[in-house]
């Protein structure tokens, strides 16, 4: 069973519908006990780290999510769900994340004609391919909407990069955890292939 965490700030239905389109059953969950009972966990997200982490704490989901990751079961983070895996975000102050990956979340500093947020289609350059991305090709496009990006302390977890005034990590992967800065549920062929691969892990 694939479970999508509902903490009041995610693009839940579009992710659920993407799995359904691929023929995979997914459910939306919000209780701590449901996290430990699932086979695969998806952490989506939109908005700011401060508010999202506060929502996870309010719903007693922080430790269950971290415990789930420690089990080795497949985990997929989407957009803010990637950023929350890191130690700290510097969005509107300094706010702690889940601390799964060492590193920080920083704001884009770009010059014209580029704008912040980074919004729309952009391409990926794979550095190392997780099993679910074995068919992915360099140059494929994905859909992004974000003003902040992750800066991992350990570059070995960067699976793919995207250029926006310089390269940034658009996919991170270590062991059972994969997370994308882009929205796979909105990224057509590439995104659906990644979600399908995750469902089959």
Task: Give the tens place of pLDDT for each residue, 137-147.
Answer: 899 999 999 99
Architecture in CATH of 2-92+102-199:
3-Layer(aba) Sandwich (3.40)
Catalytic member of 95, 118, 146, 183: 183
DSSP sequence for 130-141: -GGGTT--TT-E
| pLDDT 10s digits, 29-71 | 999 999 999 999 999 988 899 999 999 999 999 999 999 999 9
Nearest to 69 by CA among 57, 85, 53: 85
Catalytic member of 16, 34, 91, 185: 185
192: DSSP letter: H
Would the pTM count as exceeding 0.85? yes
Q: Is 34 tagged catalytic? A: no
How much of the chain exceeds pLDDT 90, in percent? 93
User: Do 198 and 23 touch, CB atoms closer than 8 A?
Assistant: no
Catalytic member of 16, 34, 79, 118: 79
Q: Is 185 tagged catalytic? A: yes
Q: Is 79 tagged catalytic? A: yes
Give the H or E element holding residue 198: helix 188-199
């Amino acid at each position: 069973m694939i479970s999508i965490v509902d903490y009041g700030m995610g693009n839940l239905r579009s992710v659920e519908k993407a799995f359904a389109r691929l023929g995979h059953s997914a459910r939306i969950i919000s209780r701590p006990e449901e996290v430990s009972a699932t086979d695969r966990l998806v952490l989506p997200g939109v908005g700011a780290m401060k508010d999202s982490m506060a929502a996870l704490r309010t719903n007693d989901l922080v430790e269950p999510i971290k415990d789930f990751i420690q089990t080795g079961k497949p985990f997929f983070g989407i957009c803010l769900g990637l950023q929350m895996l890191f130690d700290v975000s510097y969005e509107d102050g300094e706010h702690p994340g889940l601390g799964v990956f060492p590193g920080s979340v920083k704001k884009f500093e770009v010059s014209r004609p580029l704008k912040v947020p980074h919004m729309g289609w952009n391409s990926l350059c794979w550095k190392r391919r997780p099993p679910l991305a074995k068919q992915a090709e360099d140059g494929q496009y994905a859909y992004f909407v974000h003003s902040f990006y992750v800066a991992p302390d350990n570059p070995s977890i960067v699976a793919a990069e995207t250029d926006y005034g310089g390269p940034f990590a658009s996919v991170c992967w270590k062991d059972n955890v994969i997370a994308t800065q882009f929205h796979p549920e909105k990224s057509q062929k590439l995104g659906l292939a990644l979600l399908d691969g995750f469902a089959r892990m």
